[in-house]
Structure 1
Amino acid sequence: MTIRTFIAATAAATALMATGAHAADCAIDVEDPFDLEAAQITEIYDCLKDTMAEGYAKEGDEVAVNYRAWTVSSTRPAVAGPHGNRLLQTFANDVAAEQYLKFAEEGVKMPAGSVLAKESITISTKKKEARTGPLFIMTKMEDGAIPETADWLYAGIQPNGKVMKIKQAFCHDCHANYAEQDMLAYPLEEVRVAN
């Protein structure tokens, strides 16, 4: 065995052990993400939250670097159904927070400059593990900037910090179901923070 082969084998084994430990630390045992209890969700979030924030920020995206200092809108992540049945936790920047945290059902008009960052956790029932999903971002632009999306710009950051390729219509077609809420799909009522 050459020294180069030995180093490569050692690096591969170390990576596998690190991956194994991480997966074991965030193990789950449910058939459906909707079956997770509040305590299980909190445990999963506690397991992933630090590596999640570090991963999103890796490439230096301004939102990914700063969103954790914003206002959190729920007491814990929850499975709402959209975004692939992932656990979701939404943060609102200073421009968005006051209006967003009203959780109004009608007549909502978010101010330009509002930014929402939604952490996501993917639950793999086959692999029995939880892992970091994308950071979904919505930015409210000036009136008339993007009429086809009600002036919302949709974006995403992958768990490794790289920008996701997103079709605006793909995101907006779902968010359009919440037109009276200015395209906002709020956290589940049971986890919303009190205002």
Structure 2
Amino acid sequence: MTIRAFIAAATAATALMAGAANAADCPVDVDDPFDLEAAQIEDIYNCLKDAMAEGYAKEGDEIGANYRSWTVTSTRPAVAGPHGNRLLQTFANDVAAEQYLKFAEEGVKMPARSVLAKESITISKKKKQARVGPLFIMTKMEDGAIPETDDWLYAGLQPNGKVMKIKQSFCHDCHVNYPDQDMLAYPLEEVRIGN
């Protein structure tokens, strides 16, 4: 293969990859995600949901490949403010679902092996596009396993399925604001399952 042919092939491959990435972008007609109406959020989610599931599963991570079979905890994604003002949709594994879906505000103690996976959608104000964001993951470990995070292990997957580097204290410094809820911040009330 000549250098010219190699460069042409590389350029074509780059264009194809860029096209695939942009195919997962969806137009948004507001500057602030807090201004999105419910129907707009549902349209955005429908536009990106397949790309999210495929992307998070891409590297073979067990949670990334299986979280969609868990219990969804809200009727649609919503913007709560944490996680960079992203649209968030939380899924709870079988161990976590019963306790989590109570949305209790006091005396919460999640069982060990509870796992929550939170899909996220990033809204670009500059480009007016919605894009797949990280999959944020919380796993409740055995009592005393990680005392500095109240036994929660924080993790995440990038939109391409690669594991994110996460500083535990960065996540926990926000979650520590919910001590009576075992460090859990729930979906907004208007979208919680059962409301």
TM-score category by the smaller chain?
over 0.9
Question: Structure 1 unaligned runs (5+)?
Answer: none
Q: Contact 1:124–1:130 at 8 Å: present in 2 too?
A: yes
Residue 107 of structure 1, CA deviation: 0.5
Change (3 A) 1:65 1:13: closer
Gaps of 5+ in 2: none
Change (3 A) 1:105 1:126: same
Q: 1:6 corresponds to which residue?
A: 8
Aligned to 1:72: 72
Structure 1 CA distance, aligned partners of 2:40 and 2:30?
10
CA distance in 2, matches of 1:94, 1:138: 14
Which residue type is aligned with residue 142 of structure 1? E
Instruction: Write the distance in 1 (CA, Å) between the matches of 2:13 and 2:166.
Output: 34
Q: TM-score, normalised by structure 2?
A: 0.94
Partner of 1:35: 35
Q: Residue 191 of structure 1 aligns with which residue? A: 191
- CA shift at 1:18, angstroms? 4.0
C-alpha deviation, 1:61, in angstroms: 1.0
Partner of 2:179 in structure 1? 179
Quote how far apart the aligned CAs of 1:19 are: 4.3
* Cα deviation digits, residues 42-72 of structure 1 (max 9, x gap): 0111011111111111111111111000000
- 1:118 match: secondary structure: strand
Q: Distance in 1 between matches of 2:86 and 2:162?
A: 19
**Residue pairs, 1:14-53, within 5 angstroms:** 14-23=16-25, 26-53=26-53
Looking at structure 2, the residues matched to 183 and 78 of structure 1 have their Cα atoms a distance apart, in angstroms, of 19
Kindly tell me: are residues 9 and 154 of structure 1, through their superposed partners in 2, closer, same or farther at Cα, counting changes over 3 Å?
A: closer
Do structure 1's residue 159 and structure 2's residue 170 form an aligned pair? no
Are the structure 2 counterparts of residues 15 and 146 from structure 1 closer, same or farther at C-alpha, using a change threshold of 3 Å?
A: closer
Aligned Cα RMSD in Å? 1.5
Q: Deviation of residue 149 (structure 1)?
A: 0.8
Does the 8 Å CA contact 1:29/1:125 hold for their aligned counterparts? Answer: no
**What amino acid is aligned across from residue 101 of structure 2 in structure 1?**
L
Summarize the Cα distance change of 1:14–1:167 in structure 2 as closer, same or farther, 3 Å threshold. closer
Identity of aligned residues (%): 78
Q: How many residues align?
A: 193
Is the CA contact 1:73–1:101 (under 8 Å) kept in the aligned structure 2? yes
Deviates more, 1:3-12 or 1:169-178: 3-12
Partner of 1:104: 104
Does the residue aligned with 1:154 lie in a helix, a strand or coil? strand
Q: Counterparts of 1:157 and 1:105 in 2: how far apart (Å)?
A: 28
- After superposition, residues 136-147 of structure 1 pair within 5 angstroms as 136-147=136-147
Within a 5 Å distance, the mapping from 1:78-97 to structure 2 comes to 78-97=78-97
Other-structure match for 1:114: 114
TM-score (structure 1 length as normaliser): 0.94
